[in-house]
């Protein structure tokens, strides 16, 4: 196959499928070329140096990005001595360059997709490598920076740690920085006198660190990430320097459980994290991005964990937060990631890479601080630990400590016996089945009875009144997984705190004790309109949710119910996802134009569950009004067909 070269400028959307792909064979190359390359990252001419090794075997070129000792093979390579194309599709990244006449210099561009409408272009240069003299004359002996440093980056509230290796009298320096969110991978560079330079280019990130050793022994300098980020940093020697505990940063939102969380796979099929086929003794949820180098470091280790511990009861699910927000593009990147690392567990698309939007999309965490974030859960969905970031192989001892910690958590989760799990599940099921549950439907009440029969669990739904039109009782298999109750293929969430069983995907649908749709309010003696309105400001989000639900049942939200409508509109921005979803459902019972406007303003919310509730409410309003279709209904139907 002859190599195909794309002309400059290059558009990422037309990555050639015909370029020569690096072979995985290990034959000795018949030709080797080394390029000393650099990227122009700074406004004042600062360039990030790195090395490219080109190897030809049987007419096929392979290329490697070198961050000594790391050697990253480039998946797609085309090179004919005059034109160079290095593509890393899994990072949506490509280098295109041309030889300048008969010289040994190449000039071109590194192009990287950084978001839906953000494409970075960084000037690239390279020259054929010329070996340095065997003996270099140094005008000044290099300072020694070997050891551990406490580091402060201008933009980071947490202290980082620098770990550097350098032989006495040598000017070559290796190392990395550990931060609260991960590490800066393999850095390599030199120190000339008191001036230190370290860099790394892995196809996704381009890092350049410069600093000067001061008279007091401290470091002071600047950091560049590509040509889009620059900040200052300082450091002081500290053999005891440590980053913040990665297991102590992030908290789980106890209001949210696995039953509330569902995301699409790469085929677009919605997958509930409480689905029975995902149950296991030990569970891990991993928030990651295919664009994230630390996530790429973690991926092969996660695959190893699944293969090692899977037969004993470990189940991992990856939740991808991608760059563009366009489903087809992001799904393709996730599939490339899965294939690249032979990942043997499900990968779902959960949101976009922006951390604020990711926090909204994955409301189970108080905040998404880093990619990756790894969550360890028990068999019934309780959180055992949350780890922010990932200390990769470049961190040496820190990486080994992380592996031991992860495997200790997994072993602890796997230690619970099958008999203990079965006994606890039976106890919970029998507690639920000790009374019947009632659901209000447009056709009347439906009674649910749960029972165990010969070791199997069943759910019997009985329409009331029981007549020919209502039909006969319906019996389905019932499966209880933590607080997730599956009745046939239908998922419900058991909310023990409020003594109701909720539909996690429809805020207006629930099962409750007969005649008492809000037991929590009954228990607290909250029943009058004034008391219910006051409860909307309660500290407990479940009390706010239940008060809002009760008010919505007792009166239609119209312009006449001004106080209630204003409160429902306000609660669309409540910190609690459950309250926000109930507010959307409540406003769907209104014909007030303020309700329609507020709901339309929330159609693009990052949280999929809330967005669907908003769309359902608007669809309900449109259906109730009848007549001519409102112009906004088409947009609504893209989210919720109705």
**pLDDT, tens digit, for every residue of 274-300?**
999 999 999 999 999 999 989 999 999
Which part of the chain is CATH 2.40.160? 12-128
Predicted pLDDT of residue 497: 94
The answer to whether 389 touches 276, Cβ cutoff 8 Å, is no
Which part of the chain is CATH 1.25.10.10? 518-642
Find, among 454, 474, 456, the residue nearest to 464 by Cα: 474
CATH number of 518-642: 1.25.10.10
CATH number of 417-516: 2.40.128
DSSP string, 404-469: HHHHHHHHHHHTS-HHHHHHHHHHHHHHHTTS-EEEEETTEEEEEEEEEETTEEEEEEEEES-STT
| 6 pLDDT above the threshold of 90 | no
Which part of the chain is CATH 3.40.30.10? 258-415
The pTM of this model reads 0.89
**Mean predicted lDDT score pLDDT of the chain:** 90
Q: What is the pLDDT of residues 115-149, one digit of tens each?
A: 888 899 999 999 999 887 766 666 678 999 999 99
Q: What is the pLDDT of residues 47-62, one digit of tens each?
A: 999 999 999 998 899 9
* CATH 2.40.128.120 given to domain 147-237: yes
pLDDT band per the 50, 70, 90 thresholds, residue 513: very high
Which part of the chain is CATH 2.40.128.120? 147-237
**Looking at 5-9, 29-33, 311-315, which range is the least confident one?**
5-9
CA distances from 102 to 99, 165, 372, 538 (A): 8, 40, 46, 76
The answer to whether 8 touches 91, Cβ cutoff 8 Å, is no
pLDDT band per the 50, 70, 90 thresholds, residue 452: confident
Predicted pLDDT of residue 540: 96
For domain 258-415, the CATH class is alpha beta
CATH entry, 12-128, from 1.10.3470, 1.10.287, 2.60.120, 2.40.160: 2.40.160
Predicted pLDDT of residue 138: 62
Predicted pLDDT of residue 448: 92
Q: What is the pLDDT of residues 543-599, one digit of tens each?
A: 999 999 999 987 644 444 556 788 899 999 999 999 999 999 999 988 888 999 999
Predicted pLDDT of residue 460: 85
């Amino acid at each position: 196959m002859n190599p195909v070269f794309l002309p400059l400028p290059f558009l990422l959307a037309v990555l050639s499928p015909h370029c020569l792909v690096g072979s995985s064979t290990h034959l000795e190359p018949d030709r080797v070329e080394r390029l000393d390359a650099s990227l122009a990252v700074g406004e004042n001419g600062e360039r990030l140096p790195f090395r490219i090794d080109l190897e030809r075997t049987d007419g096929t070129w392979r290329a490697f990005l070198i961050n000594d000792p790391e050697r990253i093979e480039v998946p797609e390579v085309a090179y004919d001595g005059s034109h160079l194309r290095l593509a890393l599709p899994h990072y949506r990244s490509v280098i295109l360059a041309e030889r300048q006449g008969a010289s040994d210099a190449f000039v071109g561009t590194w192009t990287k997709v950084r978001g839906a409408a953000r494409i970075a272009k960084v000037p690239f240069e390279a020259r054929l490598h010329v070996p340095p003299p065997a003996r270099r004359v140094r005008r000044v002996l290099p300072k020694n920076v070997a050891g551990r440093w406490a580091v402060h980056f201008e933009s980071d509230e947490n202290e980082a740690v620098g770990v550097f290796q350098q032989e006495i009298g040598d000017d070559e320096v290796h190392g990395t920085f550990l931060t609260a969110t991960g590490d800066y991978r393999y850095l390599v560079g030199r120190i000339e006198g008191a001036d230190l330079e370290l860099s790394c280019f892995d196809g996704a990130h381009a890092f350049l660190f410069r600093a000067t050793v001061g008279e007091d022994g401290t470091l002071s300098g600047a950091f560049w990430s590509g040509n889009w980020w620059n900040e200052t940093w300082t450091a002081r020697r500290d053999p005891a320097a440590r980053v913040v505990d990665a297991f102590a940063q992030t908290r789980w939102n106890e209001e949210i459980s696995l039953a509330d969380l569902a995301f699409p796979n790469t085929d677009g099929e919605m997958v509930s994290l409480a689905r029975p086929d995902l149950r296991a003794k030990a569970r891990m949820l991993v928030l990651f991005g295919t664009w994230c180098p630390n996530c790429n470091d973690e991926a092969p280790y996660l695959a190893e964990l699944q293969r090692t511990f899977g037969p004993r009861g470990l189940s991992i699910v990856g939740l991808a937060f991608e760059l563009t927000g366009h489903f087809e593009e992001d799904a393709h990147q996730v599939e490339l990631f899965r294939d690249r690392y032979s990942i043997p567990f499900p990968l779902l698309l959960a949101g976009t890479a922006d951390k604020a939007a990711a926090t909204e999309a994955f409301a189970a965490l108080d905040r998404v601080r880093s990619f990756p974030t790894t969550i360890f859960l028990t068999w019934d969905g309780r959180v055992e630990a949350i780890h922010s970031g990932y200390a990769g192989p470049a961190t040496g001892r820190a990486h080994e400590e992380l592996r031991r910690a992860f495997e200790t958590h997994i072993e602890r989760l796997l230690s619970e016996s099958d008999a203990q799990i079965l006994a606890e599940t039976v106890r919970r099921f029998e507690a639920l089945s000790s009374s019947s549950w009632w659901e209000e439907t447009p056709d009347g009440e439906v009674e649910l009875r749960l029972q165990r029969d010969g070791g199997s669990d069943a759910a019997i739904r009985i329409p009331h009144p029981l007549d020919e039109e209502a039909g006969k009782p319906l019996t389905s298999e019932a499966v209880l997984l933590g607080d997730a109750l599956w009745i046939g293929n239908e998922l419900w969430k058991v909310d023990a705190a409020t003594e109701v069983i909720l539909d996690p995907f429809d805020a207006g649908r629930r099962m409750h004790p007969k005649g008492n749709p809000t037991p929590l309010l009954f228990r607290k003696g909250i029943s009058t309109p004034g008391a219910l309105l006051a409860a909307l400001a309660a500290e407990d989000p479940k009390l706010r949710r239940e008060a809002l639900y009760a008010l919505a049942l007792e009166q239609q939200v119209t312009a006449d119910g001004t106080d209630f409508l204003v409160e429902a509109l306000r609660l669309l921005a409540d910190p609690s996802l459950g309250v926000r979803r109930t507010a959307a459902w409540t406003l769907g019972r209104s014909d007030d134009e303020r309700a329609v406007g507020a709901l339309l303003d929330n159609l693009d919310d990052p949280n999929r569950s809330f967005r669907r509730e908003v769309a359902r409410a608007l669809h309900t309003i449109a259906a109730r009004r009848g007549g001519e279709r409102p112009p906004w209904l088409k947009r609504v139907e893209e989210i919720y067909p109705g």
